[in-house]
Amino acid sequence: MERRARSRAYGLTASQAARQGGMTLTEIMVVVIIMALIATGVALAVLPRLKEAKIKATRADIRVVQSAATLWLADNNGCPTIDQLGLSRGARTKDAWDNDFIINCEADEPMVASTGPDGEQGTDDDIQ
């Protein structure tokens, strides 16, 4: 009834008045808020998994570097550097946070470590 009254007041036919009925600003804002809540929920679920994945990838890369360092020590003296290991181009020579691996040799046994997410050596988040 109200639509007919508006269409008569503005001189519109019923079909023209029906086409003018769009979404209100309130409806659009409700949809945007719902989308923001969904995006927030997804972010809260994914971000912790991303950190775990980086730690797992770094541990796998440490094993590769440590194996290469062990082989290098079998033929050479002294503790190797990443460049001396001759790793293939597919092998990662840095951790997931783009920090260099740290190689220490104790009693002819190489120990490879990462400084972890904070990039500082000797903190609780170091990965060995």
Chain centroid to CA 20: how far? 45
The total number of residues written for the chain in this structure: 128
Structural domain contains residue 95 = yes
Structural domain contains residue 22 = no
| pTM higher than the cut 0.75 | no
Structural domain contains residue 64 = yes
Q: What is the pLDDT of residue 10?
A: 61
Give the Cα separation of 101 and 48 in Å (integer): 23
118 versus 7: the higher-pLDDT residue is 118
Structural domain contains residue 59 = yes
Q: Which residue has the tokens 């309130």?
A: 26
Q: What is the pLDDT of residue 85?
A: 82
Cβ contacts of 54 within 8 Å, gap of 6 or more: 96, 97, 117
Structural domain contains residue 26 = no
Structural domain contains residue 36 = no
Whether pLDDT at 3 is above 80: no
Kindly report the number of other CB atoms within 10 A of residue 34's CB atom. Answer: 10
Instruction: Count up the domains in the chain and report the number.
Output: 1
Structural domain contains residue 97 = yes
The range of the structural domain enclosing residue 90 comes to 51-113
Q: What is the pLDDT of residue 20?
A: 62
- Angstrom CA distances, 34 to 1, 25, 29, 59, 85, stand at 32, 14, 9, 39, 52
Contact 23, 32 (CB under 8 A): no
- Please give the structure tokens belonging to residue 87: 């790793």
Q: What is the pLDDT of residue 127?
A: 83
Give residue-wise pLDDT tens across range 60-117: 998 988 888 888 888 888 888 888 887 877 778 888 888 888 888 887 788 888 888 8
